[in-house]
Amino acid sequence: MEKRKEMLLQLFSDKCYKPMKFRELAGFLNVPKEDRDAFKHILDLLMSEGKITIDDAGRYVLCGRDILVGTFMGTQRGFGFVSIDGEKEDIFIGPTRVNGALNKDKVQVKIIKEVPGKKREGEVIKIIEHGNDLVVGTFNRSKNFGFVIPDDVKFGKDIYIPHNNSKGAVNGHKVLVKLTEYGDEKKSPEGKIVQVIGHINDPGVDIMSIVLAFGIPNEFSEELMREVARIPEEVLPEEYAGRKDIRNIPTVTIDGEDAKDLDDAITISKEGDNYKLGVHIADVTHYVKEGSLLDKEALKRATSVYLVDRVIPQLPHRLSNGICSLNQGVDRLALSCFMTINDKGDIIDHEICETVINVDRRMSYTNVKKILEDRDEEVIGEYKDLVPMFEIMEEAATVLRKRRRKRGAIDFDFPETKIILDEKGKPVDILPYERNTATRIIEDFMLAANETIAQDYFWRESPFVYRIHEAPDQEKIIKLGIFINNFGYAIKGASEEIHPKEIQSLLDKIAGSEEEMLISRLTLRSMKQAKYSVRNEGHFGLASKYYCHFTSPIRRYPDLQIHRIIKESLHGGLSEKRTKHYNSILPEVSQISSLCERRADEAEREVIKLKKVEYIRKYIGKTFEGVISSVTSSGVYVELPNTIEGMIRISDFKDDYYYFDEENYRLVGEVLKKEYKLGQRIKVMVAAADKITRTIDFEPVETE
């Protein structure tokens, strides 16, 4: 494929080449008729890479330097931007130069204006690939036809629905539409309704609309469920053979109260100054066989999606909540990592093996916190036989954490959001969800197991899937260093390759200060996103040379995939044939898993934003005190103590004319010189909350 692409590029670059249409080009190159679809595919690939284009006469030519390929991002107001991979600045596309492009379309864009210091301007000259073929929206019926208003306001156009394609939808129905025509600058897109989700006011319809809009699979096929039905609900006698039996060792799981997919259990003891920690992970691959329908569907989903009112699982509940879940009082198959940890937090020995376990108690984070933090006598009495075990856990976790912090691991401790819904799915309370002793213990133990497994398999030179986190861009760190100098702080190494220890040192210095939130958020924004990779490039945030995801195979496909590799290694090692097999499939596994993780994260954020908007609507006109969490040229974002965030638009500051001081992340009044900056406390009134755009508007409340 690459050789053919290179050959074509050489042809198009030749001074003697005269632009040709497809049939002329295929004839010139003597491409047989049966190979012309493949030939067209190669040309399409070159177009999608931005290397060639089609001129006004339909002929193939090389792209000029002023023609780029990127993703179009639409807006409600008709204009848009094109994002180019590898380039930091987007290209502005005016409303008359969109030329029918829709949000998320892959397009060729021609640069028409380039002024130093300003955003480039361009024009869409070709739509290479449409980004959406399924759209979620609200149906409205007229006498002879209907139309759908997309939930995604960036889509920019209503969708025409012929009467015979409405699937019985009525006004106010949320629907899933398949586009049949994409329209252009003069004509609206056209589509047919493929699913009526439910009425806009029905419980759960709002969240399901988001699930479908992100294309998250939420149902399992009948064929797959027949395959699942053949999996036993209990461990069979013959499955114990060859496994280490640790059912006699006290074993617990520690999870949230609502968790049903329990994929990790803990054993621990202390021998002299050393801790013997066992992290036991559900042996999911024993039931999910490579190449099965179940395996293919698990890869397609790549992750479970946790929303406020439901979990969309990677595996059917019969597995995730049943035979693969480490439930209390039943035998389960596991893949275990036993680690010996000294009093300095070093892992001095380890063993990886297949086991059979039986969990003694299913513990919650809340009750373990009550035992270790609150010293609650009633809870201590209820679990008195296990209290010494939890105390050893706390000791071991503390030495592991100290060791990790010593090497420079970064700990961003921002509160998450906990949303309480009533039986109709309406939010009744929103609270910050803080980490506690129990959550940190499990986090420390899982990190230790993940690092141990990754290091072991790195030195085996085995095909593997690593969890990597690249170092931040030097330019962002330099900008951060300039900004924090205003507060008397500095980052060592800001002008060269930075070590994560310097980031954590900064966070330690600002702890408890007025500017803590401000600098913490800006520091987090300077970091890159973690992802999956077949190459071990280390984990910057954890200051770790070796890291992977091993501990959650029920809900993450990379974990399941490396379990398969580990189990093959335990049973005689990987043959040359199997090594080649894994080398061929793991890049795609890593890419799909990273993309699906992003998709799940975005869907979870959108659901949380939706429920926050729904909750705050009850308080329109009410006053709260919050903290400025972000400053932009459009205004400031203010976060309330319960994590709800809204925006004060720059035009709503009536006491002066404000401008955005980008270097110092603040708004400054031109006359009074009053300023609004990150981390500043401010009183606000809730002015509006829009469920469609999922935005909240605040107004400043003047104080004397």
Q: Provide the number of structural domains found in the chain.
A: 6
The verdict on 150 and 277 lying in the same domain is: no
Residue 302 CA to residue 555 CA, distance in Å, equals: 8
In this structure, what CATH number is given to the domain that contains residue 193? 2.40.50.700
Using alpha carbons only, give the angle 469, 470, 476 rounded to the nearest 5 degrees: 120
| Residue 443: per-residue pLDDT | 95
Find the range with the poorest average confidence among 194-208, 308-322, 477-491. Answer: 477-491
Element (H, E) at 209: helix 205-213
Structure confidence at residue 289 (pLDDT):
96
Q: Please report whether residue 533 resides in a domain.
A: no
Give all strands (DSSP E) within 25-95, no chain letters.
52-54, 60-62, 67-74, 80-83, 91-93
- Give the DSSP per-residue string, 157-192: S-EEEEGGGSTT--TTEEEEEEEEE---SSS--EEE
**Same domain flag for 172 and 315:** no
Residues 357 and 244 in one domain: yes
Q: Are 331 and 283 in contact (CB under 8 A)?
A: no
307, part of any domain? yes
The enclosing H or E element of 113 equals strand 106-113
Q: Tokens 């755009």, residue?
A: 693
Q: What is the pLDDT of residue 704?
A: 47
Cα separation, 363 vs 252, whole angstroms: 7
Asked whether the predicted pLDDT for residue 375 surpasses 90, the reply is yes
CA torsion sign for 560, 562, 566, 567 is positive
Q: Is the same domain home to 443 and 380? A: yes
Q: What is the pLDDT of residue 464?
A: 97
Those residues with Cβ within 8 angstroms of residue 88's Cβ, 6 or more apart along the chain or in another chain: none
Contacts of 475 (CB under 8 A, 6+ apart): none
Cα separation, 615 vs 425, in Å, equals 11
Residue 378 is encoded by which pair of tokens? 């009633």
Q: What is the pLDDT of residue 494?
A: 60
> What pLDDT does 493 receive?
64
Digit-coded pLDDT (tens) for 233-269: 999 999 999 999 999 999 999 998 888 899 999 999 9
The last residue of one of the domains, among 129, 151, 172, is 129
CATH of the domain at 629: 2.40.50.140
Look at residue 97 and tell me whether its pLDDT is greater than 60: yes
Instruction: Report whether 60 contacts 22 (CB < 8 A).
Output: yes
Residues 326-341 have pLDDT tens digits of 999 999 999 999 999 9
Q: What is the pLDDT of residue 703?
A: 57
Using DSSP, state whether 648 is helix, strand or coil. Answer: strand
Question: Is residue 612 assigned to a domain?
Answer: no
94 and 191, same structural domain? Answer: no
* Interior angle at CA 542, CA 538 and CA 545, nearest 5: 30
Is 198 found in the same domain as 100? no
> What is the distance between the alpha carbons of residues 595 and 87, in angstroms, rounded to a whole number?
20
Per-residue pLDDT, 144: 82
340 beta partners = 276, 349
Q: Which of 82-86, 373-377, 680-684 has the lowest mean pLDDT?
A: 82-86
The number of angstroms, rounded, from the C-alpha of 146 to the middle of its chain's C-alpha atoms is 35
Whether pLDDT at 2 is above 80: no
Average pLDDT over residues 573-602: 95
* Host H or E run for residue 245: strand 244-245
Of the pLDDT bands very low, low, confident and very high (cuts 50, 70, 90), residue 187 is confident
The answer to whether residue 239 sits within a structural domain is yes
Q: Are residues 420 and 460 in the same domain?
A: yes
User: Over 70: is that where the pLDDT of 496 sits?
Assistant: no
Q: Is residue 538 part of a domain?
A: no
Q: What pLDDT does 33 receive?
A: 87
pLDDT value at residue 606: 94
- Six-digit token pair at 444? 């420390």
Q: What is the distance between the alpha carbons of residues 22 and 481, in angstroms, rounded to a whole number?
A: 54
Tokens of residue 494, six digits: 């800001």
Query: What confidence score (pLDDT) does residue 526 get?
Result: 86
> Torsion angle, CA of 418/422/427/431, rounded to 10 degrees?
-30
Among 129, 131, 132, which Cα is nearest to 44's? 129
What is d(CA 133, CA 182) in angstroms, rounded to the nearest whole number? 9
Q: Is the pLDDT of residue 468 over 60?
A: yes
Whether residues 95 and 52 share a domain: the answer is no
- Tell me what pLDDT residue 11 has: 87
Q: pLDDT by residue (tens digit) across 29-46? A: 888 888 888 888 888 888
Q: In the predicted model, what is the mean pLDDT of residues 493-498?
A: 68
pLDDT of residue 551: 97
Which of 190-199, 246-255, 491-500 bottoms out in mean pLDDT, i.e. has the lowest?
A: 491-500
Coil, helix or strand at residue 74: strand
Mean predicted confidence (pLDDT) in 621-631? 91
Mean pLDDT of the chain: 91
Q: How far apart are CA 456 and CA 696, in angstroms?
A: 49
Q: Which two tokens stand for residue 278?
A: 């066992």
Average pLDDT over residues 530-553: 95
Distance between CA 508 and CA 593 in Å, rounded? Answer: 33
Domain assignment present for 268: yes
pLDDT at 533: 96
Write the DSSP symbol of residue 118. Answer: S
* pTM of this structure: 0.86
Question: Are 394 and 505 within one domain?
Answer: no
Q: Show the domain range for 140.
A: 134-202
- CB under 8 Å to 691, separation ≥6 — which residues? 206, 610, 613, 614
Q: Is the domain of 156 the same as that of 24?
A: no
Cα 10 to Cα 15, 52, 187, 555, distances in angstroms:
10, 12, 39, 47
> Letter for the amino acid at 626?
G
Judge residue 199's burial from the number of C-beta atoms within 10 Å of its C-beta, 0-12 exposed, 13-18 middle, 19 or more buried: middle
How far is residue 174's CA from residue 150's CA, in Å, rounded to a whole number? 10
Residues 399 and 452 reside in one and the same domain? yes
Tens digits of per-residue pLDDT, 543-587? 999 999 999 999 999 999 999 999 999 998 999 999 999 999 999
Least confident piece of the model among 149-153, 310-314, 357-361: 149-153
Which residues have C-beta within 8 Å of that of residue 605, sequence separation ≥ 6? Answer: none
DSSP string, 395-433: HHHHHHHHHHHHHT-------EEEEEE-TTS-EEEEEEE
Q: Between these two residues, 536 and 114, which has the higher pLDDT value? A: 536
Question: For residue 1, is pLDDT > 80?
Answer: no
How far is residue 437's CA from residue 442's CA, in Å, rounded to a whole number?
9
Q: Can you name the residues that pair with 192 across neighbouring β-strands?
A: 178
Cα 173 to Cα 199, 207, 546, distances in angstroms: 4, 14, 50
Instruction: Give the dihedral sign, CA 646/649/653/654.
Output: negative
345 φψ region: left (φ > 0), alpha (ψ -120 to 50), beta (else) = left
**Mean pLDDT of all residues in 151-178:** 91
Other Cβ atoms closer than 10 A to 337: 25
Residues 6+ apart with CB under 8 A from 305: 211, 216, 311, 312, 600, 603, 604
Please report where in the chains the tokens 């709800």 appear, as a residue. 644
Which pLDDT band holds residue 183 (cuts at 50, 70, 90)?
Answer: confident
Residues 597 and 501 in one domain: no
Output the pLDDT for position 618: 94
Q: What mean pLDDT do residues 421-431 have?
A: 91
Last residue of one domain, picked from the residues 129, 146, 178: 129
Q: Is residue 615 part of a domain?
A: no
Is position 177 within any domain? yes
